[in-house]
Amino acid sequence: MLNKLLFTIVLAASVQTQAKETAADNYRAYCVQCHGMEGNGTGVNIRDMSVVPRDHTDAKSMSGRSDEALFKVIKEGGTSISKSILMPPWEGALTDEEIKDLVQHLRTLCKCKFGS
């Protein structure tokens, strides 16, 4: 009984860290070229961009975005929330689950919540 319980806890913990790593990996794979290695909006692409990518570490502006809005802009791209077309839509590359994890990843980058 106790063994079974422990197993469940360990399993839950490993699923948790895996989700986190996947989000960090996806961020590194798809987002850093614009949003920067640190997520602070200083990716290698920005020299040529007319609209600068959001600084994801900026708690002040990131706390003004709901999780739903972040999900939407990642999935459907900048124009879906009247932002720049330079922010691409990711629905072809990422699953809803992965996008949700990325929203949580953004919350760890800004160390903020919506409305805080």
Q: Would you tell me which residues interact with ligand HEC (CB under 6 A)?
A: 30-31, 33-35, 45, 49, 51, 53-54, 65, 70, 73-74, 78, 83-84, 86-88, 90, 102, 106
Residue number with CB closer to ligand HEC (13 or 83): 83
Give the number of other Cβ atoms within 10 Å of residue 53's Cβ. Answer: 23
Give the pair of three-digit tokens for residue 38.
């640190």
Yes or no: say if 32 and 110 are a contact pair by the CB < 8 Å rule.
no
Cβ proximity to ligand HEC: between 10 and 51 the closer is 51
Which residue number, 8 or 61, has a Cβ lying nearer to ligand HEC?
61
Minimum gap (Å) between residue 89 Cβ and ligand HEC: 10
Least distance from ligand HEC to the Cβ atom of residue 66, Å: 10
Shortest Å distance, C-beta 35 to ligand HEC: 6
Q: How far apart are CA 4 and CA 2, in angstroms?
A: 5
